[in-house]
Every structure is written in C-alpha cells, then in structure tokens.
Amino acid sequence: PRVELAWAMKAHQHAQVYFNLISSVDPKFLNLTKVDDQIYNEFRKTFRDLKIDVLDPEDLKSEPAKEKWRPFCLGFEGVVEDFNYGTLLRLDCSKDYTEENTIFGE
C-alpha cells in the first residue's frame, strides 16, 4: 500500500508537469524523450485501433489489454528511464485531470 501511494504521488507530480508543458507549448513541437518518435511508432504498431482521445478503461486494465501493454512497456527497458512506472492518464483528453477523468495506468 505505501509503495502504491508513493507511485501514485510520483505519477501525480509527473502529470502536473506534463499538463503544464502541453498547456504552454504546442504539443507537435514538444519532445518529452529522445525516442518519442520510436515510442509513438511502436505504440501505433501494437495498438493500431486504440482510440486515444477518449480512453476506455477496459483497453488499459483488462487481462487481454495487459497482455499487450506489458511487452510494449518492456520493449523500452534500458531505452527510457522509468519505463515501467505507472502514470496518470486523462480518460477524455479534452478535459482536465479530475478524479472522474483520471485513471492510473501501470
């Protein structure tokens, strides 16, 4: 429980920084890592039909979804620092981070 709380707090801090960035800079000019293009290309290969503007929690948390997400994340071990950390995601990208619009993806 304490470890989960620490991860959730760190994820919240990352989400705040990220939201401040995307709110102040046009995202098409923003690079968060040196391998953003690689991450995106691999993401689209793996999750070709995933709707990302409004997320369905089942696409993230169900057992079949986890079977796809685990190998995807592990593919960035040694490439991206903190590759296996959880993150807070907005379910609807047009809305702010709120309790109702946020899910913890691990």
Q: How far apart are CA 71 and CA 11, in angstroms?
A: 21
The count of domains in the chain is 1
Q: 33 near 21, Cβ under 8 Å?
A: no
Burial profile 62-72: b = 16 or more Cβ within 10 angstroms, e = fewer: eeebeeebeee
Return all residues near 38 (Cβ < 8 A) that are at least 6 apart. Answer: 79
Q: How far apart are CA 31 and CA 44, in angstroms?
A: 17
Q: What is the pLDDT of residue 72?
A: 93
Q: 80 near 33, Cβ under 8 Å?
A: yes
Q: What is the pLDDT of residue 22?
A: 77
Which helix (H) or strand (E) segment holds residue 71: the answer is helix 63-74
Both tokens of 65, joined, read 């979804």
Return all residues near 27 (Cβ < 8 A) that are at least 6 apart. Answer: none
Domain that holds residue 49: 1-105
- Identify the CATH number of the domain in which residue 43 sits: 1.10.3560.10
Say what the pTM is: 0.72
Q: What is the pLDDT along the chain (106 residues), one digit of tens a residue?
A: 666 777 777 777 877 887 788 788 887 788 878 899 999 999 999 999 999 999 999 998 899 999 999 999 999 999 988 887 777 888 999 998 888 998 887 7
Q: What is the pLDDT of residue 1?
A: 60
Q: What is the pLDDT of residue 9?
A: 76
